Amino acid sequence: MTFHKVLIANRGEIALRVLEACRELSVDAVAVFSQVDAGMPYLNLAGERLCIGPADPAKSYLSIPAIISAAELSGAEAIHPGYGFLAESPDFVEVCEDHGLVFVGPPREVMALLGNKVAARSAVAAAGIPVLPGEVISEDGEVSAAGERVGYPLLVKATYGGGGRGMRFVAEREELESAVIAAGAEAKAACGDDSLYLERAVESPRHIEVQILADSYGNIVHFGERECSVQRRHQKLIEESPASHLDEETRSALHAAAIAAARAVGYRNAGTVEFVLDSEDQFYFIEMNARIQVEHSVSEVVSGVNLIKEQIRIASGDKLRFTQDEIDIRGHALECRINAEDPSNGFLPSSGKVIIDELPNGFGIRVDTHLYNGMEVVPYYDSLLAKVISWGEDREEACIRMYTALERFRVRGIKTTRSFAQEIVSHPSFRQERLTTDFLSNLAAE
């Protein structure tokens, strides 16, 4: 089956990526937009464009009725959700299916399983994949005994949701009760559900994930791993592929575990299996993201495969076009997220009109962005402005190219994290040491 028309239920740089992929596949694209996004130049690349509501995401990009109506009005056969917004909503997938629309992503039941982190842990553990000791917090609210059984230090984690919301680190028993109250309130506000579980914490872990693609015929491949340990408050800032300071035995075992996890849950389309590694490189499954991720670009650069195009092909019913042996991971890639935030003021979001003096380009440099000169950065959406990706024959070359590219990323009118990213990639510890998720806090303490 080949799609004739795909609706893109997103905005910004990911919407542009999907638009470009549709063009390359000779598929008509329908772009939706909120009233405040009406002037985005990328909309002109779409065959059709439809306004779906005001700036408020709840009334536009998160409005299932608005998006379904746009799909029906335009005659689209499929919907690509991008990332964020409705990309991991089982309810949205179900409504798509009820209306005869193909969702470019996993089936509803798989997404629902993975959205419940406790159920996902159980499913992959049954397949023999290591998970950390954990326990669901019972409805009676008795957590002390559960904490003792799990062991300290531990994490209080939301059963649903992501992005670090509803997560608290607990070093010792006395901190547990207050952490549970705070995490539950945050989880309730973020996703409407305050259910929590406890999980043993790995101190100074590495955060490494594996990109996979799975078709409807049982074929699953991976695209190597990504190092995502440079984080601030559980939000990734810099990603790279492949991971450094990782022996080949562990690397191969991670890849195999990711494939096994995808197979255990009946996964289909693009997904990411996430692990933490301890100081001995013992890895543990933490979750699987049922969508394309922001950092997919580094995997594309080292593999030469357009993952967005493959998503659409798989959703249309095609088999994977390559085997694992045909995927060649070459060189090293880094990605820096440039956010509209002020690092000198607690990373507060920044709004205003963008004046572009220069954007980087050249050999080994890729910039994924929807930015244009005079664009008004508004406070309604995620602060991501651009992704700067560098490639090199080795990690050092990729770092040098990234530093130069960041130097040439020059915009005015708003505050960005560009200089902060440049400081990180030029720091001796980043260039030489094994990365862990407390890298930035250690850097701040110097």
What DSSP string describes 251-268? Answer: HHHHHHHHHHHHHHTT--
Q: Is 303 exposed, middle or buried (0-12, 13-18, 19+ CB in 10 A)?
A: buried
Q: What are the CA-CA distances from residue 411 to residues 81, 360, 373 (Å)?
A: 29, 11, 9
Name the CA dihedral angle for 121, 123, 125, 129, rounded to a multiple of 10 degrees: -100
Name the residue with higher pLDDT: 34 or 188.
34
Asked if 143 and 198 count as a contact pair (C-beta separation under 8 A), the reply is yes
| Residue 14 host element (H or E) | helix 12-24
How far apart, in whole angstroms, are the C-alpha atoms of residue 124 and residue 118? 10
The pLDDT confidence band at residue 168, using thresholds 50, 70 and 90, is: very high
Whole-number pLDDT of residue 434: 84
How far apart, in whole angstroms, are the C-alpha atoms of residue 258 and residue 222? 8
Q: Which domains does the chain have, with CATH numbers?
A: 5-104 (3.40.50.20), 133-200 (3.30.1490.20), 206-444 (3.30.470.20)
Q: How many CB atoms lie within 10 A of CB 426?
A: 14
Mean pLDDT taken over the chain: 95
Q: Please give the distance of CA 160 from its chain centroid, rounded to a whole number.
A: 16
382-414 pLDDT, tens digit per residue, is 999 999 999 999 999 999 999 999 999 999 999
How far apart, in whole angstroms, are the C-alpha atoms of residue 139 and residue 190? 20
Q: How many CB atoms lie within 10 A of CB 240?
A: 28
The pLDDT confidence band at residue 303, using thresholds 50, 70 and 90, is: very high
The pLDDT confidence band at residue 139, using thresholds 50, 70 and 90, is: low
Average pLDDT on 58-75 reads 98
Per the annotation, the verdict on 291 as an active-site residue is yes
Residue owning tokens 């994949």: 129
189-201 pLDDT, tens digit per residue, is 878 888 999 999 9
Whole-number pLDDT of residue 88: 94
Strands 5-8 and 28-34: parallel
Cis amide bond preceding 41, omega within 30 = no
Beta bridge partners of 7: 30, 79
Average pLDDT on 78-95 reads 97
The pLDDT confidence band at residue 164, using thresholds 50, 70 and 90, is: confident
**Of 11, 268, 291, 418, which one is the catalytic site residue?**
291
Percentage of residues of the chain with pLDDT beyond 70: 99
- Stretch among 88-97, 144-153, 346-355, 386-395 having the lowest mean pLDDT: 144-153
pLDDT exceeds 80 at position 247: yes
Residue owning tokens 């989880």: 187
Residue among 359, 358, 354 at smallest CA distance from 373: 354
The pLDDT confidence band at residue 141, using thresholds 50, 70 and 90, is: low
How far apart, in whole angstroms, are the C-alpha atoms of residue 326 and residue 342? 43
